[in-house]
Chains A and B, each alone.
Chain A
């Protein structure tokens, strides 16, 4: 690795003219405002003699994501460098999982997941190079679009759910399935993050975030709502939580071996969200009393639609 003589904005990775290094003329990012933590790749590093490294924007226990520029393909990319801690058995195991995850993702080529260009072993352990996707998140889109109706929410998020389902089938989990983690690509929404799962279950927190994402799309801005209940409060009104039914529905959809249930899940969620926010009344079966009364009176009821219970 060596330092790159060319000038790039370390945030948007656009080439910038000499003398504008401090403040990017395209995105306005101030280079002096960025101070990478110890152990991270320094800005302007040329990684693997190919990737011009920019600012790190996400780091967790497994990998760090950097904005980067692919000098060969001449495109902006996201560089994920594995940082699995001290060398040893655990490091080796999680490095293998990291590589397996990105290899699977590259092979699967899912519509609602950012394209994985490559993943390789390297001196640092391993890295993956993914498609650069805009900074526009679902959260931003929600604030722009406002509340979506069912069809709108479905067309926006159904591919994401299907992708999650496919990932889950491959024992891959998404770290944080929330409106802030889903990004806009052309006119669709894509997931950008994944990791291997030891089990085949979404963690409770993931389920909660997943639900919140849908409720946010259908009920307005994705303002983070303090979670006051174990089940989570998903309402922007901060006083209602989704019924247990919704949680059960999600859990059942992703833990069962049934056919794609995404459509059903979303429809169900939408409905549960409506009920949770008090917009819709829980549907009820036609009251048996009326039906049986009609039978006793010898009247054939051809149809009954009612709010009576």
Chain B
């Protein structure tokens, strides 16, 4: 099978049952994406597929041979962090770090959804959603953090979103 991950081509011989998550973790050495539940109940495996955030544990690798896949490793490096990665460090948006790659990938996807004007469960007006702390919390609720860095995660995302808006404006 052939895959495009973080802009790089990979060939892998894998069992048809292999999830996208296990493909990365067990076959390609991309262990940044985490397995917390393997059933779409925690969000630790969140990746961006064609720009959209999904649970990589609940999809088969074989179904993604034509897709652009982005994992935490493609987002930034230790030396060159993505703004959200840097904001998570600055605001302590983690503790043990296990849910963190998923949180950050999710946040990237989420901010893109906001940019598209998508509303959320807590939006009073579906046509013109506000962007505040409760919106960030609701939209990030698919990523469980048992260390409960939630307030810091919200703050990190809020700051990056505000910077992006400034740049856009």
Q: Do A and B bind each other?
A: no
